[in-house]
Structure 1
C-alpha cells in the first residue's frame, strides 16, 4: 500500500561534513561484537550516499520546477501555433482578395491611361467620377498589398518564434533528464558499494563503529515519528511467507538502500549487531518498557549504549541478512529479543503516527 504521508527522502540540508568516531566494540547479540572502526572508505560511502540523497532531492525539486516551466512553454508554443494557423488563413484570404481586385480592374478597365479617360469622358463630372473611382480602387489595392506584406512578415517572425520555443523546450527537458540521470547513476553505484560493505560485515559477524553523519537541520518536534520519511508499506505484522518460520514479526517499509532510518522515539541503543537473519540491526529501548528494532540495515550511525532522540538517524537501510530486496524491517517488542513483538502499526498510531 502506498504511503499517503509523502515527503522528500531528506529535509533539504547541506550534508557536507561528517566525522568518524573511534571504534568501540559493540556487544552483538546475534552476531557478536566486532573489533575495529569504519575506515575512511566505509564512512566515505555512507556519507556519499547521504549527500547523493540530498542531491537527488534537490534535483527532483529542480526537475519538478522545470517541468512546470516547460508546461508553460508548451502552452505558449501551442498558442503560437494557433496564431500561425490563423495568420496563414488570413494571408490566404488576402491573396484571394488581391486576385479578385485585379480581375475586377481588368474587367472594368480601371487601368485605362489618364489621357484615354479624358478623351472618352462625355463631361467633366464623368471624368471626375472616374478619377475618384480610380483613386479609391488604387487605394484599396495598395492597402491590400501592404496588409498582405505585413501579414507575411509577421507570419515569418512568428514561425521563427515557434521553432525557437519548441527547441528551448526540448533542450530544457534534455538538460533536466540528464541531471537526474547522472545523480541516479552515482547514487546507484554508491548504494551497491554500501551494501557490499554491509554484506561483508554480516559474513564476518562483526559490526564496526558508527558512521557519524550530520543530522538534518530541521528538528523533529513530535515525540514519535515513522522510522523512515517516505516509504511503501510491504509485508505486515502476522503475514505468512516462505521466508518466516511462523508469521512475520514486524512491519516492512520498502525503501532504497541508504535511506536514512530514524529512531521512532527517545530512547537508548541497547543492541547493535551483525549476522543472522536480521543482518545488521539496531534495537532501541524506550520509556514504558517497549523496544524497537531496525533490521536489514546497510550501515549504523549510532553505538550501543548511546542515547537517541525521536527522528535521529540511527542507520541507513539496506538488504542485509535474510532479505529479498531493499527494505527496513521494523519491530516493536516488549523485550529486547525476538519473540516478544507486537503489531507496530496500531502501536505507532496510538502515538500519533498513522501509517498508510
Structure 2
C-alpha cells in the first residue's frame, strides 16, 4: 500500500519538473544563462537587419534625391535648348529679311554698277559697309547659336541618360530595401515570440551582446531611441493603467535598439509582470531610468553603461497594446517614484 500511495506523488513531481523544463527556453533556441551573453541569436539578427534597413533606406533616399536633381537639370537644359532654338529661328528670319532687302534694292547688280548709278557713291559705300557688317555680325551670331544648340543638345542627352540610369539604380535599391524590410519584419516577430515565452516563464534569457554602432556621443545625455513618435505621455489616463501613466511612450517597431539615456549601472533586469521585459539603470545623480516592454536585453545586472549604448531592443511584452518603448525617470529604482521624463530629459539637454 505504501507503494501505491507514493506512486501518484512521484507522477506529480515528474509532471512539475516537465512543466518547468517546458517553460524554460531550449538550448537550441538561443537561450543562455544570465551573464553569459551571446552575439548570435535572433536579437543580434534583428539588430543587424535594423542597421541594414536603415542604411538601405538612406541609400535609396539619397539616390532618389540625386535622380530628382538630375531630372531637374535635364528639364532646365531642355528649356535652354528651346530658348536657343527660338533665338536661332529669329536670327534666320533676320538674315532672310536682309537678303530680301538686298534683292529689292538691286542686289543682283554688281557693286561697280551701283556706284556708277548712285547719286552719292561715297554714301552708298558707307551703307554697303554697314550692311556687310550687319550680315557678318548676324552670321557670327548664328554660328555661336548653332554651337550652343549642339552643346545643349549633348548636355541634355547626357542628363536624360544619367536620370534614366539613376531611376534604374533606385528601382534596384527599392527592391533591396523591401527585401531587407520583409526579412526584418519576420525576424522582429520571432524575437517578440521569444520575449513572450520569457515573460510567460518569468525568466529572462540573458543578455544578447549587440554590436554597437560607431557613433560616439559628445553629449552626456541622449534620447532612449533614435527615431520615434511620442505616444502616451506622463500622467495621461487610460483603462490599462491603475491610476495614471507613469512614463513617456515612444512608438517604435519591435527590435528597435534602445539606448541608455546617460552613463550609469544596471540595477535591474527582469521578465514578467505588467512591464514585461524591463531594465532599470541608476545614474550618477541618483536618479533611475526604466526601459520597459522590451523584446530583448543586451546588458546584465551590474553592467556599467555609457550614454547612447544599446542596452536592449524594443518590443510589446507585458501589458502592452502594440510595439513601443515605455520610458520612466524615477527617484528610486521602484515604480511609484516616477517624475515626468520629458522635462527631466529637457533639463539635461535632450529635447523630445
TM-score, normalised to structure 2, is 0.72
Quick check: 1:200 aligned with 2:194? Answer: yes
Q: Which residue is 2:314 aligned to?
A: 317
Structure 2 unaligned spans of 5+ = 1-22, 32-37
- Check 1:174–1:250 CA distance in 2 against 1; reply closer, same or farther (3 A cut): farther
Q: Deviations 1:49-103 (Å, cap 9, x if unpaired)?
A: 3334444554565566656655664665455344324322321221211221222
Q: Which residue is 1:241 aligned to?
A: 238
Tell me, in whole angstroms, the C-alpha distance in 2 between the residues paired with 1:42 and 1:324: 29
1:112 alignment partner, SS class: coil
Q: Any conservation in 2 of the 1:37–1:209 contact (CA below 8 Å)? A: no
Tell me, in whole angstroms, the C-alpha distance in 1 between the residues paired with 2:222 and 2:29: 28
Structure 1 stretch displaced more, 68-77 or 101-110? 68-77
Equivalent pairs, count: 321
1:154 alignment partner, SS class: helix
Quick check: 1:39 aligned with 2:39? Answer: no
Q: Any conservation in 2 of the 1:36–1:208 contact (CA below 8 Å)? A: no
Tell me, in whole angstroms, the C-alpha distance in 1 between the residues paired with 2:271 and 2:48: 25
**2:227 pairs with 211, 227, 230, which one?**
230
Q: Which has the higher contact order (CA 8 A, sep 6+)?
A: 1
Q: Any conservation in 2 of the 1:296–1:323 contact (CA below 8 Å)? A: yes
- Check 1:51–1:193 CA distance in 2 against 1; reply closer, same or farther (3 A cut): closer
Q: Any conservation in 2 of the 1:254–1:327 contact (CA below 8 Å)? A: yes
Q: Which residue is 1:111 aligned to?
A: 108
**2:291 pairs with 278, 294, 300, which one?**
294
Tell me by how many angstroms 1:225 deviates. 3.5
Q: Which residue is 2:91 aligned to?
A: 94
Could you say which structure has the higher helix fraction?
Answer: 2
Q: Which residue is 1:165 aligned to?
A: 159
Tell me by how many angstroms 1:329 deviates. 0.4
- Check 1:187–1:48 CA distance in 2 against 1; reply closer, same or farther (3 A cut): farther
Quick check: 1:269 aligned with 2:266? Answer: yes
Tell me, in whole angstroms, the C-alpha distance in 1 between the residues paired with 2:217 and 2:137: 73
1:201 alignment partner, SS class: helix
1:106 alignment partner, SS class: helix
- Check 1:173–1:324 CA distance in 2 against 1; reply closer, same or farther (3 A cut): farther
2:322 alignment partner, SS class: coil
Q: Which residue is 1:9 aligned to?
A: none
Tell me by how many angstroms 1:133 deviates. 6.9
Tell me by how many angstroms 1:301 deviates. 0.7
TM-score, normalised to structure 1, is 0.71
Structure 1 unaligned spans of 5+ = 1-31
2:294 alignment partner, SS class: strand
Tell me by how many angstroms 1:247 deviates. 1.6
Q: Deviations 1:124-177 (Å, cap 9, x if unpaired)?
A: x96x98889778757755764564355335324313322432442353355346
- Check 1:129–1:159 CA distance in 2 against 1; reply closer, same or farther (3 A cut): same
Q: Which residue is 2:279 aligned to?
A: 282
Tell me, in whole angstroms, the C-alpha distance in 2 between the residues paired with 1:286 and 1:37: 36
RMSD over equivalenced CA pairs, Å: 4.0
Tell me, in whole angstroms, the C-alpha distance in 2 between the residues paired with 1:70 and 1:91: 31
